[in-house]
Amino acid sequence: MFDGLSSKLERVFKNLKGYGKLSEKNIEDSLKEVRLSLLEADVNYLIVKEFIESVKNKAIGEKVAESLTPAQQIIKIIRGELVELLGNNEPLNIKAKPPVIIMLIGLQGSGKTTTAGKLALYLHRIRRRVYLVPADVYRPAAILQLKKIGSSINIPVYETPEENGKVLQKPDEILKNAIGIAEKQAYDTIIVDTAGRLEIDEPLMDELKLLKNKFNPNEILFVADSMLGQSAVTVAKTFNDALDISGVVLTKVDGDARGGAALSIKKTVDKPIKFIGVGEKLSDFEVFYGDRIADRILGMGDILSLIEKAQDSIDEKSAKSIEDSLNKKDFTVKDFAEQLKMMSKIGGITQIAGMIPGFSKIKDKFNPEAAEKEIVKIKAIIDSMTEKERINPDILNGGRRKRISLGSGTTVNDVNIFINKFEEIKKIMKSFKKNKTGSLKNINNIKNMFNKGDFKWR
């Protein structure tokens, strides 16, 4: 989502690199560009104005640190302001007496029901006993959708009584019954998927207000579709004025929205963004950290989220098998296939690439979407190989290569290219082994290192 803004800012900083010292003139010039970049990213103009003023004052007042170049000084100040704008991470309020109630509100199509499933999976992973409650009584399809989501992740869903496609209970009755069941079954967290409309209307707000007043939810999260840009922010404001929300979940951050919603919403409603949705899959969900997003915007990547994603998606058994394959004498095509599988679990190349520091700089040379297509081809090639060939690709003579190309719908040339590339990868793996840096045991050490702030910033 932040690609456009990211590459524009990158250009501003590049120009600044030519200066030996920060002067009022070059600060002014670069801030003009930054201002334009933010406006083009659809950030609210009043927020942009304040942002630029604040950066300017800090840049002019800043004591010149000998160790930083002008570009680094400006980036440092801008990073600070971006973090301020995006807000700090604020954890979910789930420590209260169970069952904790989390109510999701927002317009239809914003991603509410999907978010209910994502949040359920996230909470399940941190060992909460979650109960999903569909309270959109006007759209039986939404209830069905939540049921499907629940069963796909093994999370219980409240059974709403229906007759001839009509829901027989009102939302407040549903929630009352659900709380009773949660208490009996020792479910400690209830996620309520409320009704949404295509536009805000009084009856919808009244229904939500009634739920709020009757059950006093521990969290009221507004689900905002980042693709709607500024208008998502306006809608958030209306919901917040009526219901005093406790936080925001920003969805579709993986899309090509320009970033305006993310950068304006916290300042406008003065409520924290707590999570972001980064894809259609239920695992495409991240805790929101303003500083990490600021780093992504500034092209510094987001290693911490990447590590967390890897830890969430890879179970211990698979991690062990990767580690074993790294420690083995010979790295085989079979091990490689296992790693490809793992990578797609983490979210595929496109998502991983966006989190790698400095990626924005090589974006022109490396196209993750193209790489993703290439991987589909490679998977087909590996699938067409026999077990023996995967363990020992040296036996791949012309005849075998031809058979594999026919089986995988590729050309012999594709197979040759893959085998050559694989030999290169094998070499890299060997060097990993020597350095021992490939060990997944090191993930926690790396994480601690970053947390301790040893990370040399730029």
* Residues within the interface to ligand GDP (CB under 6 A): 106, 108-114, 142, 196, 251-252, 254-255, 277-280, 284
Picking from 98, 22, 87, 88, the residue whose alpha carbon sits closest to that of residue 55 is: 22
Residues 6+ apart with CB under 8 A from 228: 110, 235, 257, 261
For residue 311, the one-letter residue type is: Q
For ligand GDP, the closer CB: 55 or 232? 232
Q: How far is the CB of 277 from ligand GDP (least distance, A)?
A: 3
Whole-number minimum distance, CB 426 to ligand GDP, in Å?
Answer: 36
Q: Is 62 helix (H, G, I), strand (E, B) or coil?
A: coil
Distances in Å between the Cα of 197 and the Cα atoms of 10, 108, 110, 290 are 40, 5, 10, 30
Smallest distance from ligand GDP to CB 320, Å: 31
Least separation in angstroms between CB 226 and ligand GDP? 8
Nearer to ligand GDP, 70 or 196 (CB): 196
Q: Which is nearer to ligand GDP, 247 or 438 (CB)?
A: 247
Crossing angle between the packed helical segments 290-297 and 3-16, to the nearest 10 degrees: 60
Closer residue to ligand GDP in complex, CB, 16/142: 142
Whether the CB-CB separation of 17 and 71 falls below 8 Å is answered with: yes
Give residue number: closest CB to ligand GDP. 277
Q: CB 341 → ligand GDP: shortest distance, Å?
A: 22
- Pick the closest to residue 119 from 326, 329, 277 (CA basis): 277
Is the Cβ of residue 80 or residue 109 nearer to ligand GDP in the bound state?
109
State the Cα torsion 438-444-448-451 to the nearest 10°. 100
Q: Residue 365 has which token pair?
A: 């040379």
Cα gap 211→298, rounded to integer Å: 41
Residue 108 or 411: the one with the smaller Cβ distance to ligand GDP is 108
For residue 107, the minimal CB distance to ligand GDP (Å) is: 7
